Structure 1
Amino acid sequence: LEHSERPAEMLEEFDPEFEFGFLSGEYFTTLYGNARQMLAEDDEEMEEDSIVSLQRINLSDGTIRNFEFLREEGRWQLETIRERTFDEDDLSDFLSFYARFCADSIFQSQSIANPLHIVLQDPDDEEQSIDGIIDADQWQTFSPEVPSGIISNIRKGQHYGGQRIVLRKSGLSNGLQEVFTFTKERGNWRLTRYEN
């Protein structure tokens, strides 16, 4: 499926409620190649004539639907829609791992770094955080809800080196944020850091 016509010509087939329904949950996710990219994105302004891709990633069937938007003269326009499999994407290795990580609790527990670095918001003081480590076997009792099923990725020029992926889960209405850092060690992906 590839459309390269202008949005006005795509309206017959394009149903925004269906296509963007995956964004109607409580959060959205974004993948970065490292923490610096995530922090830089928070600080940068979008340039004129920017291209942003919104990806609908179906972890169950291994497909990615990519909606590419172009900003011209201050207005965003949908330019293309493409669908492909994980195997055709530069995040193929990580997405295949992550699909199993969020669907298989035994595999998930085997894919946690030991020890796991955590940074948690102090429940007594919103301005402070608690920085520490937990044993991998504590993850199951501690574990937050990891994004699963259909997730999003908002690509604004991120580069992925293949050794680290930072997954940010951002609340749509509550401003809450969780960050999962995965690192590839000796050929295997592991969750190496969690922060909320």
Structure 2
Amino acid sequence: MKRYFLAFFAFLLLTFSCTGNRANQTDEVPADSVADSTDTTDIDTLEMLITETPMPRAADAMFDDFLFNFLANKKLQKERVVFPLRVTENGTTTKIEANDWKMEHLFMRQGYYTLLFNSDKQMQLMKDTAVNEATVEKILLAKNQVKNYCFQRIKGAWLLREIKVTPLQTDANASFLSFYKRFVTDTVFQIKSISETVDFVGPDPDDDFNMMEGVITPDTWEAFAPTLPHKTLYNIIYGKPQEEGKEKIYLLRGVANGLEMELRFKKEGGKWMLKKLMT
């Protein structure tokens, strides 16, 4: 790999594939949009293909494979919800009958989703076929609320068994999410929350087959920071929730366009700091 020190504006412009930071800007950008990340035509086509194609049994081996089918296939979704479905919020439990169920697309319609991990080891659980329980979190930052879709694999088939609505402060990632809310909406705070040098790895503009490495500094960060969702996040917990550590891996993935971005944070002196950006 080549290594460059990204100190000049022109060179940064050439190097970075991410878009400018939107915090505290007034540009008319759809809420929680990620620039160039959502192609609704591709998503509609993907959903149509999934709906028309029966889910293979092998898709139940890994939760991600099942989930994409579950969110795009109305018939399959209704078959894989345990009715009456329990919904718990503020200590009160209600039940949804099959006739009252509405198709749940979660992140499919926005074209991207996010994932949070404490370590590379935890990230490997995405591909672990031994995982038999998973929770999809719909994190509503403005409401300080998390909607938990609780799945379990029973006799080889993934089923949605319960929905729980909980306060954000009780979430396993509460400390990071509290930090993240400000990080994506306050430009000054964002710049103060990046290390003196942030490692960068991204496509080499001169070679389609290689990646390049670089270093981002606080004085160049603001103009080239990626646009990140600031209202709603999604996260998938594979297995049981793990206690929050001092490192956080934030992944942003496109549903149908191959987009992937990774930000790595570390808690130093009680403060979360951005250490690495990969595109």
Q: Which moved further from structure 2: 154-163 or 61-70? A: 154-163
Q: 1:15 aligns with which of 99, 102, 113?
A: 102
Give the TM-score of the pair, scaled to structure 2: 0.62
**Residues 129, 159 of structure 1: CA spacing in aligned structure 2 closer, same or farther, 3 A cutoff?**
farther
What is the CA–CA distance in structure 2 between the aligned matches of 1:35 and 1:146, rounded to whole Å?
22
User: Does structure 2 conserve the Cα–Cα contact (< 8 Å) formed by 1:147 and 1:169?
Assistant: no
- Selected match of 2:145 from 58, 63, 74: 63
Aligned to 2:202: 120
Contact (CA 8 Å) 1:29, 1:151: kept in 2 or not? yes
Any conservation in 2 of the 1:64–1:85 contact (CA below 8 Å)?
yes
- Counterpart CA distance in 1 for 2:274 and 2:251 is 13
Distance 2:198 2:211 in 1: 16
Work out which of the residue numbers 8, 16, 29 in structure 1 matches 2:114. Answer: 29
Task: Give the structure with higher Rg (CA).
Answer: 2
CA distance in 2, matches of 1:32, 1:125: 31
User: Partner amino acid for 1:16?
Assistant: M
* Greater per-residue helix proportion: 2
Deviations 1:106-163 (A, max 9, x none): 2111111111111112233343111121111211111111232101001113634420
User: Is it true that 1:105 corresponds to 2:187 in the alignment?
Assistant: yes
1:192 is matched with 275
TM-score normalized with structure 1 length:
0.86
Following the alignment from structure 1 to structure 2, what is the Cα–Cα distance between the partners of residues 90 and 31? Answer: 10
Contact 1:23 1:152 in 2 (8 A): no
Residue type matched to 1:151 in 2?
A: L
Select 1:132's aligned residue among 206, 214, 218: 214
| Letter paired with 1:183 | K
Question: Quick check: 1:70–1:76 contact (8 Å CA) kept in 2?
Answer: yes
SS of the aligned residue for 2:169 comes to helix
Structure-2 change in CA distance of 1:118 and 1:73 (3 Å): same
Distance in 1, matches of 2:214 and 2:243, equals 27
CA distance in 2 between counterparts of 1:141 and 1:176 reads: 20
What percent of counterpart residues are identical? 30
Partner of 2:254: 171
Q: Secondary structure at the match of 2:242?
A: coil
* C-alpha contact (below 8 Å) 2:173/2:244 kept by paired residues: no
Are residue 91 (structure 1) and residue 142 (structure 2) matched? no
SS in 2 for 1:151: strand
Q: Which amino acid is the alignment partner of residue 131 of structure 1?
A: E
Question: What is the 5 A alignment of 1:135-154?
Answer: 135-154=217-236
Corresponding residue SS for 1:107: helix
Q: What RMSD over aligned residues (CA atoms) do the two structures have, in Å?
A: 1.9
- List gaps (5 residues or longer) in structure 2: 1-80, 86-95
Cα distance in 2, alignment partners of residues 35 and 166 from structure 1 = 8
Structure 1 gap segments, 5+ residues each = 1-5
Count of residue correspondences: 186
Task: Output the amino acid matched with 1:168.
Answer: L
Shift of 1:56: 0.2
